[in-house]
Structures are given as C-alpha cells and as structure tokens.
C-alpha cells in the first residue's frame, strides 16, 4: 500500500492530483510508522521488579563446628514498644529454623531477664560479663544471634528495619551481620512478599489468596517475610 501511494500518477488533474498524491503518501508513511511503533510497544515485556539487594556481610561459609546457635529475643530499643518486639520473637525463630543452617535454641524473655537482667539484648550494646561463656556452657551452642529492630512502622506504608548479627562464642567474632530496612513502598519488597506467600500461602499452611495484601497491614506477616529475607543471607553450610 505504501508503494502505491508513493507513485505519482500522470492524469488530467495536474498539480491538484500531484498535491493530493503527495499528501496521501505522507499520511500513509505516518500511519505505517505509528503502526510499527504500536506493535513494538505492545510486544514489549513488562520490566520485572528490581532484584532485592540486602545490606549484609559474612563469611563465605559457616564454620564447620557451628552446629547450634542461641537466638535471643527481639530487641525493640527506641524503634518499637516491648510488646511489639515480643510479638515478633516467634516470627523470627520460625524463619531462622526454616533456613536449616544449624540447630536453633530460643531464649525466652523471662529466662533472658533471669540470666542477664534484661528481657532482650542489643547487638550494639555492651554485653553482660561472661555472656558468651554462659551461652556456650549452658546451651552447648557455638554461636548466638541478635535481632534488633531499627525501624518499626506498623501502619501503611508498613516498614521494618532489621539489624541482626551472628557472633561465634569462641572469641566473639562476627560470622555474619545484616542491617537493612524493608518498606512496602519498595517495589522489590512488594514483589518479594508475593513470592514469599504465593497464591496459596506456599508451605506456610495458609490458604487466603490475599496474603501478600494482608501482609501490608500485619506486622507479624510482614515481619515473617523480612525475617526470611534477612536470614536467607546467612552464609551457606
């Protein structure tokens, strides 16, 4: 069709016919270009959500002797009330166990207070005297994991900041350290929530199809995804 419109006919109409032919040819070329652009645009695949890049450092592999760790209660500090931090204790414990890196022993808030004078301990504060020795002797553990909340915003847009560290009881060396903020406004976090829960709750025994949306208003559901994403960065065995 384009070539037909581009031919200039010789007919009695003279200059008017020539101008008409040129106008039709220009219109046809414009239509063809627009059509090609539309087809190309419609054929393009939507850009995937950006990959999640978490802020962490750690050993290439876990030490072979690291077989058991003690998970301390979640420390809320100035970011979250004690009851809000306590509500996430089981959430973090569950997701750490799911990683299957080592045996996990949890320390209750009551026992933490009895042993160390506080219901939770921060990884950024001075530790009680003999802390690591007691963890090693009384629990037979080779490591201890701290979980600190640095940001806690339970309302839309929900956000949770996590600082977590894995310290070896021998020498107190850090084998892994994580520090990042998860925000529902982050496209990669929204995509991660959908993958984490899936259409039917994945292997977490939950069936509602709207779980990713429900997680945007539930600190515990949102926290489960955040805990999983954080602990996934632990060094491999």
Average pLDDT score over residue span 219-226: 96
- Overall size of the chain counted in residues: 237
Q: Report the distance separating Cα 159 and Cα 165, nearest Å.
A: 20
Residue 133 CB-half CA count within 13 A = 3
Domain of residue 168: give its range: 56-231
173 domain residue, yes or no? yes
Q: To the nearest whole number, what is the mean pLDDT of the chain?
A: 83
- Per-residue pLDDT, averaged over 51-74, amounts to 91
Q: How far is CA 150 from CA 15, 93, 129, 136, in A?
A: 78, 18, 25, 28
Q: Are residues 8 and 117 in the same domain?
A: no
Q: What are the b/e assignments for 57-66, b being 16+ CB within 10 Å?
A: ebbeebeeeb
Please tell me the distance from the alpha carbon of residue 94 to that of residue 96, in angstroms, as a whole number. Answer: 6
Exposed, middle or buried by CB within 10 Å (0-12, 13-18, 19+), for 166?
A: buried
pTM reported for the whole predicted model: 0.76
Q: Is 237 within the bounds of a domain?
A: no
Question: And the tokens for 100?
Answer: 């299957």
| Shared domain check, 80 and 26 | no
Closest listed residue to residue 223, CA positions, set 30, 72, 80: 80
| Position 84 confidence tier, pLDDT thresholds 50, 70, 90 | very high
**226 and 180 fall within a common domain:** yes
Checking if the pLDDT of 26 tops 80, the result is no
17 vs 137 pLDDT, higher one:
137
Contact at 8 Å (CB) between 112 and 121? yes
User: What's the domain count of the chain?
Assistant: 2
Tell me how far apart the alpha carbons of residues 30 and 24 are, in angstroms, rounded to a whole number.
10
Give percent above pLDDT 90 in the chain: 68
Taking the C-alpha atoms of residue 103 and residue 97, their distance in angstroms, rounded to an integer, is: 7
Residue 207: is its pLDDT beyond 70?
A: no
pLDDT tens-digit map of 170-182? 999 999 999 999 9
- Domain CATH for 130: 3.40.50.10610
Q: Is 17 a residue whose pLDDT tops 60?
A: no
- Shared domain for 215 and 188, answered yes or no, is yes
Tell me which of 6-15, 64-73, 149-158 is least confident.
Answer: 6-15
pLDDT of residue 23: 47
Please check whether residues 141 and 170 belong to one and the same domain: yes
């Amino acid at each position: 069709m384009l070539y037909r419109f581009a031919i200039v006919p010789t007919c009695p109409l003279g200059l008017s016919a020539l101008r008409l032919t040129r106008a039709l040819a220009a219109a046809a070329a414009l239509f063809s270009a627009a059509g090609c652009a539309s087809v190309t645009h419609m054929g393009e695949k939507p850009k995937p959500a950006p990959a999640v890049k978490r802020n962490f450092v750690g050993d290439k592999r876990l030490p072979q002797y690291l077989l058991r760790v003690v998970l301390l209660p979640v420390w809320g500090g100035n970011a979250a009330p004690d009851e809000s931090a306590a509500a996430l204790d089981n959430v973090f414990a569950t997701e750490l166990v799911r990683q299957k890196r080592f045996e996990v022993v949890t320390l209750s808030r009551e026992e933490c207070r009895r042993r160390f004078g506080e219901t939770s301990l921060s990884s950024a504060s001075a530790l009680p005297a003999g802390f690591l020795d007691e963890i090693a002797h009384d629990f037979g553990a080779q490591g201890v994991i701290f979980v600190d909340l640095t940001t806690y915003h339970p309302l839309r847009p929900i956000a949770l900041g996590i600082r977590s560290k894995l310290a070896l009881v021998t020498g107190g060396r850090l084998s892994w350290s994580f520090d990042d903020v998860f925000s529902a406004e982050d496209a990669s976090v929204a995509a991660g929530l959908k993958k984490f829960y899936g259409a039917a709750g994945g292997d977490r025994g939950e069936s509602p199809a709207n779980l990713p949306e429900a997680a945007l208003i539930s600190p515990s559901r949102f926290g489960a995804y955040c805990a999983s994403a954080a602990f996934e960065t632990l060094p491999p065995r």
